[in-house]
Amino acid sequence: MNYLEIANTIKSSVGGSENILNVTHCATRLRLVLKDSDQFNEEEIKNIEGVVNTIKIGDEFQIIIGNDVKYIYNAFIDNDKKLEKIVSVKKKNSIKTLFFSFTAYIQASIGAIIPLMVGTGLIKAGLILCLQIGILSEASDTYQLLLAVADSFFYFMGVIAAIGAARKLNADIPMAVFMALMFFAPGFIARVAEGTDMNIFGIPVYSVSYANQFLPIIMSVWVMNKLDILLNTYLPDSVKDIFRPTLLILIMIPLNYCILGPSVTWLAYLLAEPFTAFINYPWVLTTLFGLLMPVLVMFGVHGLFFTVVSLNLFSQVGYDPFLMPGGFCSFFAIVAVSLVVGLKAKDSKTKSQSISTALTLFLGGVSEPAIFTVLINNKKAMGISMLSGAIGGLIAGILSVKCFMPVGGSLLMVPYYVGEGSPLSNVLIAVSITSIIAFVLTFVLYKSEDKVVKEV
Q: Report the pLDDT value the prediction gives residue 174, as an integer from 0 to 100.
A: 94
CATH number at 34 reads 3.30.1360.60
Beta bridge partners of 203: 200
Whether 252 shows a pLDDT value over 90: the answer reads yes
Q: How confident is the model at residue 432 (pLDDT cuts 50, 70, 90)?
A: very high
* Residue 164 and residue 296 in one domain: no
CA angle 265, 267, 273 (to 5 degrees): 105
Burial code of 241-267, b = ≥16 C-beta within 10 A, e = fewer? eeebbeebeeebebbbbbebbbebbee
* Residue 319 and residue 285 in one domain: yes
* Residue 203 and residue 54 in one domain: no
Quote the CA–CA distance of 349 and 390 in Å, as a whole number.
29
How many domains is the chain partitioned into structurally?
Answer: 3
Is residue 329 annotated as a catalytic residue, yes or no? no
- Report, as an integer, the average pLDDT of 28-53: 86
pLDDT tens digits, residue range 299-308? 777 776 777 7
pLDDT tens digits, residue range 346-359? 888 788 888 888 88
Domain of residue 169, residue span:
101-274
Q: Report the pLDDT value the prediction gives residue 215, as an integer from 0 to 100.
A: 84
Q: Report the pLDDT value the prediction gives residue 436, as an integer from 0 to 100.
A: 96
53-57 sheet: strands from edge to edge: 20-25, 29-34, 60-64, 53-57
Q: Report the pLDDT value the prediction gives residue 249, as an integer from 0 to 100.
A: 94
Quote the CA–CA distance of 174 and 218 in Å, as a whole number.
14
Whether 142 shows a pLDDT value over 90: the answer reads yes
Q: Report the pLDDT value the prediction gives residue 454, as an integer from 0 to 100.
A: 45
Q: Which of 208, 329, 326, 211 is CA-nearest to residue 278?
A: 326
Lowest mean pLDDT of 44-48, 176-180, 188-192, 267-271, name the range: 267-271
What percentage of the chain exceeds 90 in pLDDT?
32
Residue 171 lies in a domain: yes
- Report, as an integer, the average pLDDT of 416-423: 86
One-letter identity of residue 286: T
Is the CB of residue 114 less than 8 Å from the CB of residue 416? no
* Residue 290 and residue 390 in one domain: yes
CA angle 258, 261, 263 (to 5 degrees): 85
- Report, as an integer, the average pLDDT of 197-216: 85
Is the CB of residue 40 less than 8 Å from the CB of residue 15? yes
pLDDT tens digits, residue range 115-133? 787 788 778 778 877 887 8
Q: Report the pLDDT value the prediction gives residue 78, as an integer from 0 to 100.
A: 81
pLDDT tens digits, residue range 99-117? 666 767 877 787 777 778 7
Residue 453 lies in a domain: no
**Catalytic pick from 26, 258, 329, 403?**
26
Quote the CA–CA distance of 419 and 324 in Å, as a whole number.
14
* Residue 417 and residue 297 in one domain: yes
Whether 420 shows a pLDDT value over 50: the answer reads yes
Q: Report the pLDDT value the prediction gives residue 90, as an integer from 0 to 100.
A: 43
* Residue 87 and residue 223 in one domain: no
- Report, as an integer, the average pLDDT of 197-224: 87
- Report, as an integer, the average pLDDT of 30-46: 88
CA dihedral sign, ordered 220, 225, 231, 234: negative
Whether 223 shows a pLDDT value over 90: the answer reads yes
CB atoms within 10 A of CB 208: 16
Q: How confident is the model at residue 456 (pLDDT cuts 50, 70, 90)?
A: very low
Lowest mean pLDDT of 86-95, 310-319, 361-370, name the range: 86-95
Whether 93 shows a pLDDT value over 90: the answer reads no
Which stretches does DSSP call E strand in 26-145? 29-34, 53-57, 60-64
Q: Report the pLDDT value the prediction gives residue 455, as an integer from 0 to 100.
A: 40
Residue 456 lies in a domain: no
Q: Report the pLDDT value the prediction gives residue 238, as an integer from 0 to 100.
A: 86
What percentage of the chain exceeds 70 in pLDDT?
91
Residue 452 lies in a domain: no
pLDDT tens digits, residue range 64-77? 887 688 888 888 88
- Specify the 3-state DSSP secondary structure of 129: helix
* Residue 141 and residue 239 in one domain: yes
DSSP symbols for 19-53: GEEEEEE-SSEEEEEES-GGG--HHHHHTSTT--E
Residue 96 lies in a domain: no
